[in-house]
């Protein structure tokens, strides 16, 4: 199962569902209108793909039981979702642990531009946000993290990315986190992966 948290209009999950019919793609989004529209659009296809599911809700109220997710994406998070991933919020970590397979991979793609996004970062108490600081927060919880600067034509062509990609200075960064149980905690003195 692939879980997309903060799925927005759900198009990313819907496109993956079409391309990969053997996998269940679960899109979670707290915006009611977006979620209703995403579900309607998914059944409009002919034939409708049976494997995208659109759930209304926040990461903090992930419904259960869900099938285990081997891949979790958080693409261009904003608001309380950005705050949770930026700080590796312990409650988020627990919730992801509860739904993830032993070898699950969490992919967070951010494209924060500090000057343009200043007021949101301040509202979230994330004034010093950088992708590197986010990676450090996850490493400090014992996860292995790899970070890559993405080319604008990267694989995460979501609706939001298409909207913001032209903002000067806005570049996307992929932060890949290996989920728990499996990735050995980083030991003191051990060289950390990039």
Ligand X SMILES: C[S@@+](CC[C@H](N)C(=O)[O-])C[C@H]1O[C@@H](n2cnc3c(N)ncnc32)[C@H](O)[C@@H]1O
* Residue ranges binding ligand X (CB under 6 A): 5-8, 28-31, 58-60, 75-81, 158-161
* Residue 169 phi, psi (nearest 5): 85, -5
Q: In terms of CB distance, is 57 or 102 closer to ligand X? A: 57
Q: Closest Cα to residue 8, out of 79, 94, 61, 90?
A: 79
Taking the complex as a whole, the smallest distance from the CB of residue 130 to ligand X amounts, in Å, to: 18
- CA–centroid distance for 40 within its chain: 23
Which tokens hold the place of 69?
A: 């997710």
Which tokens hold the place of 49?
A: 């793909």
Q: In terms of CB distance, is 58 or 101 closer to ligand X? A: 58
Q: In terms of CB distance, is 144 or 164 closer to ligand X? A: 164
Q: Kindly give the pairing relationship between strand 69-75 and strand 172-178.
A: unpaired
Taking the complex as a whole, the smallest distance from the CB of residue 144 to ligand X amounts, in Å, to: 24
Residue nearest to ligand X (CB): 8
Taking the complex as a whole, the smallest distance from the CB of residue 190 to ligand X amounts, in Å, to: 33
Taking the complex as a whole, the smallest distance from the CB of residue 138 to ligand X amounts, in Å, to: 18
Q: In terms of CB distance, is 7 or 174 closer to ligand X? A: 7
- Say how many Å lie between the first and final Cα of the chain, rounded: 27
Q: How far apart are CA 95 and CA 57, in angstroms?
A: 13
């Amino acid at each position: 199962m692939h879980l997309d948290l903060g799925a927005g209009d759900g198009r990313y999950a819907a496109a993956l569902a079409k391309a990969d019919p053997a996998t269940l793609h679960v899109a979670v989004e707290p915006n009611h209108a977006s979620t209703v529209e995403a579900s309607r659009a998914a059944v409009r296809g002919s034939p409708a793909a049976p494997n995208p599911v659109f759930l209304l809700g926040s990461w903090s109220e992930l419904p259960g039981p869900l099938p285990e997710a081997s891949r979790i994406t958080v693409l261009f998070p904003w608001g309380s979702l950005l705050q949770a991933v930026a700080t590796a919020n312990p409650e988020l970590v627990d919730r992801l642990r509860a739904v993830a397979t032993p070898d699950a991979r969490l992919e967070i793609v951010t494209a924060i531009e500090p000057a343009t996004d200043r007021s949101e970062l301040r509202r979230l108490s994330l004034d010093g946000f950088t992708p590197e600081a986010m990676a450090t927060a996850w490493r400090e919880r014992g996860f292995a993290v790899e970070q890559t600067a993405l080319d604008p034509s990267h694989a995460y062509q979501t609706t939001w990315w298409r909207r913001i990609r032209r903002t000067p200075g806005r570049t996307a960064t992929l932060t890949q986190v290996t989920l728990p149980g499996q990735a050995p905690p980083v030991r003191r003195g051990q060289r950390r992966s990039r």
